[in-house]
Amino acid sequence: MNLFRSRVSSSIVSTMAEELGSSASTATSSSRAKTRSFWPSILRWIPTSTDHVIAAEKRLLSLVKTPYVVEQVNIGSGPPGSKTRWFRSKSDEPRFINTVTFQSKEDSPTLVMVHGYGASQGFFFRNFDALASRFKIIAIDQLGWGGSSRPDFTCKSTEETEAWFIDSFEEWRKAKNLSNFILLGHSFGGYVAAKYALKHPEHVQQLILVGSAGFSSESDSKSEWLTRFRATWKGAVLNHLWESNFTPQKVIRGLGPLGPDMVRRYTTARFGAYSTGEVLAGEECKLLTDYVYHTLAAKASGELCLKYIFSFGAFARKPLLQSAPEWKVPTTFIYGFQDWMNYEGAQQARQLMKVPCEIIRVPKAGHFVFIDNPTGFHSAVFYACRMYISPNLETERLPEGLTLA
């Protein structure tokens, strides 16, 4: 069992670390080093790199009991036959997707988990043990996030940006030789998962979209408040920052040594004092905070997709609702009762779909339903996949506490 534990090639990690460049230094010359040595440690820049992300991931996953392996899956330098390259040069340098695979029972259905914006696969740390009892779990960091390669983001349109994520995922799938898997995506990861399934439906058995982004557009009547807000000076400033691709991660980097404390304040508030469900324990919160900081503060890459996929207010530039009639994969939506993503968009999409579709709502949970109410989330996933894990129980009743919308 111990041999099955996480192993990451030091040579690959070193290569990836070089992509991020050297961490911010506490001294730029020997003459200044002596002066800086007298500065309080709080004023020194806190370094981060892919090495730090991988190390933080390992510490967070120490909370998981199920044995797992970590691998850096080579996805090449860009999609075959495309002029797009995942870096700003003509080099054929390969890129990697950080992949965690959990030990499972033989013949278990494969469940691939894709994180959301500003997150990484470690956010599912509360779910791996329970889900691995029924599935072969494979969790990834999308290209430009977490412990995956972080090439320069050169996309200039919505189409190019979608291709960045869809094509890199497809190259990862080919490298892993996967097919007929269940694809689960959270928030922005749900948007990517849905777009991938629209392009490559032959590989996906079922979609599970958790608090998925991307179903509403600015043309929706409910966006009138945004038009009014933009007319104010605050709205104008925020809209300008959005269109300038000023991301939340830039704030964390700009704070330097104060960044970790900002992240700690967020995690302790969101998953503690203001939690809509099960509060994180002390060690969980500490390890998640460390992990979140390093994933946010590392080199900007995938995060720069934001303005190309969404307009200010998180309205999709190419809403999934428009593609609903083309859906070819059975889909289950999962939302927390307090999720700020409105499940009504999924209801509208269901009316246009020609495939089976369910919408499950989980109590005592917000947007991070899998952290807020892991038990309810697991029950929702098991119910959604009942035909794959319990073929004789296709008509199994909805677990207590969950509701269908």
pLDDT in tens, 137-186: 999 999 999 999 998 888 899 999 999 999 999 999 999 999 999 999 99
**Lowest mean pLDDT segment, chosen from 41-55, 235-249, 326-340, 351-365:** 41-55
Tens digit of pLDDT for each residue in 34-89?
A: 334 443 444 446 567 888 999 999 999 999 999 999 999 999 876 666 655 555 44
Percent of the chain with pLDDT over 90: 64
Predicted local distance difference test score (pLDDT) of residue 226: 72
Which three-class secondary structure state does DSSP give residue 387? helix
Tens digit of pLDDT for each residue in 217-228?
A: 666 655 677 778
Per-residue pLDDT band at 369 (split at 50, 70, 90): very high
pTM as predicted: 0.86
Which amino acid is present at 392? N
Higher pLDDT residue, 17 or 179? Answer: 179
Per-residue pLDDT band at 230 (split at 50, 70, 90): confident
- Chain position carrying tokens 């469900």: 277
- CA-angle at 280, arms to 276 and 282, nearest 5°: 145
How far, in Å, are 39, 50, 128, 140 from residue 251 at the CA level?
23, 19, 31, 25
CB-facing half-sphere around the CA of 317: CA atoms within 13 A: 15
**Lowest mean pLDDT segment, chosen from 64-73, 214-223, 292-301, 332-341:** 214-223
Predicted local distance difference test score (pLDDT) of residue 5: 41
**DSSP per position, 336-358:** ETT-SS-THHHHHHHHH-SS-EE
Asked if pLDDT for residue 31 goes beyond 80, the answer is no
- CA-angle at 325, arms to 319 and 326, nearest 5°: 90
Predicted local distance difference test score (pLDDT) of residue 24: 35
Across the range 327-354, mean pLDDT stands at 95
Across the range 183-191, mean pLDDT stands at 98
- Chain position carrying tokens 């190019």: 160
Distance CA 396, CA 392 (A): 9
Residues facing 304 on adjacent strands: none
CB atoms within 10 A of CB 104: 20
Predicted local distance difference test score (pLDDT) of residue 235: 85
Left, alpha or beta for 324 (phi > 0: left; psi -120 to 50: alpha)? alpha
Per-residue pLDDT band at 342 (split at 50, 70, 90): confident
Which three-class secondary structure state does DSSP give residue 77? coil
Per-residue pLDDT band at 323 (split at 50, 70, 90): very high
Distance CA 307, CA 238 (A): 12
Element (H, E) at 310: strand 310-311
CB-facing half-sphere around the CA of 246: CA atoms within 13 A: 11
What torsion, rounded to 10 degrees, do the Cα atoms 125, 131, 136, 137 define? Answer: -30
CB atoms within 10 A of CB 59: 16
Predicted local distance difference test score (pLDDT) of residue 222: 58
Predicted local distance difference test score (pLDDT) of residue 109: 96
Predicted local distance difference test score (pLDDT) of residue 312: 85
How far, in Å, are 41, 219, 389 from residue 235 at the CA level?
37, 18, 48
Predicted local distance difference test score (pLDDT) of residue 239: 86
Per-residue pLDDT band at 26 (split at 50, 70, 90): very low
